[in-house]
Chains A and B, each alone.
Chain A
């Protein structure tokens, strides 16, 4: 039993992102408020109400601010929903894309007919959250002053530059493209266009990673709703079908003790998604790739097979803007729209849905039928992402 073309996304909800609460005296909103807000927006978009979700599916994503073990139940209590199927996203930034497949499996198997996938975080407004670390990080990274993902992805970027010869010009082009798209997205947080010179002048955080390589932490909430392809036909908005999906966790290319960090699990997750969908690369008109850092966007383009490894020429000649050869990061990405912890990755699902529906306004990709979204999470010791997922969405079942 395959999940291809059996389900569709029929509702999306995205609260504005903000950084309120970072300074004394600023107004604050709790995670619970962002959750309720995102749920309401997604239900309105789908033409559903809370009561429709009793006896259905609820998928809550763990965030770094809320990692208590009963989090999915706390979310159900906050929303006042009594789900029959409780799914949980524990794959970090990959969770939103992972749950597309998990929710589709639950619906296709007949366990439920609707799934609300939801996440919110308010790192600036709520303090004292528990921030977990893996045993490997606690014992073999933190004692050496490894500053989390900034540091670990710097290792990846530094090696990527060494092997590929990519320079600030290549990374800067991707940063400029993302910000250009953000300037056309009213929901984006950073909207002032930048130049490659601005990128080069932005301060070094962890060489070679600069400020403009990094994702923007924020408060916010996001949600999407899935249902069966059959039921989707009678919903308020045009269905956006899940055509292909793949996940890969704990990937190691090469020996586990010395893996190649420049090839991530997206290679396998993407291959599975393409095979399931039957869609070819040339028909994908929009790539919304998890963007914790600029070089990770580029490595995923390679992983997904849109170009060869270390293909400098491809990155130089391709127009990545929404009207160009291969539109990427059409929302502006989390780097410009904000990343409320692991909630952030849902941006890439929501944006692909918007593009395929034709709701993307000034940044609408023309003639789009198919798009791909990815998610990645957890940076494993000495390698790259632990959790990866890819999903191909389209306007025809």
Chain B
């Protein structure tokens, strides 16, 4: 029996001891990232130690969820078996969002026609159910 698009699941993150506070935060409606207690730099993606000073004292802080689109693309084709669950969503926008506090985050721009998305657009986090108990932080224009 041929599988229908609806049955094909999308890949989800692997929750590890290092990244768990991020995903717990998302489920609680908070965008959480690490900040080094010793040198003050932001650290993302989640790491066991600071990439700048090697400190293992990284504090999880909540960000405002506000940022600007640094760059984006409109996905028009599926590439690779693992990602075929996204076929029904095409065309959709993935973007690099530069958050007001500093870190760059890769996500989707939703709630906006794909041809209206622009670099430097102001965006705000929204939390979307990704299935299997995972909440995905996505962004919409503000």
Contact = CB atoms under 8 A, between A and B. Distances in A.
Asked if A pairs with B, the answer is yes
Interface of A: 131, 135-136, 138-148, 150-151, 154-156, 158-159, 162, 203-209, 255-259, 261, 381-382
Contacts, number: 122
B43 A257 contact: yes
Contacts of B12: 143
B80 A136 contact: no
Interface in B33-71: 41-45, 51-52, 70-71
A154 B73 contact: yes
Given A256-B52, A257-B103, A209 B73 contact: yes
A294 B72 CA distance: 18
Given A131-B80, A205-B77, A143 B130 contact: yes
Contacts of A381: 45, 106
A158 B41 contact: no
A252 B19 CA distance: 22
Contact of B42 (A150, A203, A204, A255): A255
B52 A155 contact: no
B58 to A, nearest CB: 12
A162 B77 CA distance: 23
B41 A257 contact: yes
A158 B119 contact: yes
Contact of B106 (A146, A257, A258): A146
Nearest to A162: B119
Contact of A205 (B10, B71, B76, B138): B76
A64 to B, nearest CB: 10
Contacts of A204: 74, 76
B107 interface: yes
A257 B94 contact: no
B28 interface: no
B13 interface: yes
A257 to B, nearest CB: 4
Contacts of A155: 70-73, 94-96
Contacts of A255: 41-42, 102
B77 to A, nearest CB: 5
B142 to A, nearest CB: 19
B41 A159 contact: no
Contacts of B45: 135-136, 139-140, 381
B104 interface: yes
B74 A206 contact: yes
Contact of B11 (A131, A142, A159, A205): A142
Interface in B119-139: 119, 130, 134, 136, 138
Contacts of B98: 258
Contacts of B136: 143-144
Contact of A257 (B10, B82, B104): B104
Contacts of B13: 138-140, 143
A137 to B, nearest CB: 10
Query: Which of A131, A138, A256, A261 counts the most chain B CB atoms within 10 A?
Result: A256
B77 A206 contact: yes
14 contacts: A138-B13, A143-B12, A143-B136, A144-B106, A147-B77, A147-B78, A147-B83, A150-B79, A151-B75, A256-B52, A258-B42, A258-B102, A258-B103, A261-B71
B106 A141 contact: yes
A256 B52 CA distance: 8
A208 B76 CA distance: 11
B89 interface: yes
* Interchain residue pairs A-B with the least CB separation, the first 4: A154-B73, A139-B13, A159-B71, A382-B104
A371 B21 CA distance: 50
A146 B44 CA distance: 17
B87 to A, nearest CB: 10
Contacts of B10: 143, 145
Given A158-B119, A258-B104, A145 B73 contact: no
Contact of B79 (A136, A148, A256): A148
Nearest to B44: A257
B94 A144 contact: yes
B7 interface: no
